[in-house]
């Protein structure tokens, strides 16, 4: 009973985060066929997130509130998601292009097999 409730709560949390958090929405858009080409520019966005996380630790070291560690972890997590999405999107793009090229070659062979040779008298 308790395990079921925890499982359902984790599913609802995941669904909420994927649907309403901007970074997750952007990563979902990058994972589509049209968005795979944006994986490398997303790595740059990840670098900005990581820079902001490093700046948060600098602020904390200079006397700001330690509650800023929550912002630090959020920025670090989002930055790592974007930095890792770059190579993943390249691998996915290579796989998709390979399958598309293979489908084109199969369709060309099928069209050539159905071609009718001219009749000579």
Position 106 scores a pLDDT of 86
Residue found by looking up tokens 């293979």 in the block:
102
pTM value is 0.76
Give backbone dihedrals phi and psi of 107, rounded to 5 degrees, phi first: -70, -35
Residue found by looking up tokens 């709560």 in the block:
9
Mean pLDDT per 10-residue segment, the chain (121 residues): 92 89 91 91 94 96 94 96 94 94 87 69 63
Q: What gap in Å lies between CA 24 and CA 19, rounded to an integer?
A: 7
DSSP reduced 3-state for 32: coil
Return the DSSP state at 115.
P
Angle at 65 between CA 24 and CA 72, to 5 degrees: 25
Q: What gap in Å lies between CA 24 and CA 110, rounded to an integer?
A: 41
């Amino acid at each position: 009973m308790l395990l079921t409730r925890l499982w359902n709560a984790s599913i609802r949390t995941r669904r909420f985060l994927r649907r309403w958090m901007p970074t997750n929405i952007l990563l979902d858009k990058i994972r589509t066929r049209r968005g795979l080409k944006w994986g490398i520019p997303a790595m740059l966005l990840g670098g900005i997130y990581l820079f902001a996380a490093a700046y948060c630790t600098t602020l904390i070291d200079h006397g700001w509130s330690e509650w800023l560690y929550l912002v630090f972890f959020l920025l670090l997590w989002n930055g790592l998601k974007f930095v890792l999405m770059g190579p993943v999107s390249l691998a996915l793009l290579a796989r998709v292009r390979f399958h598309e090229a293979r489908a084109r070659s199969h369709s060309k062979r099928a069209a050539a097999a159905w071609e009718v040779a001219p009749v000579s008298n």
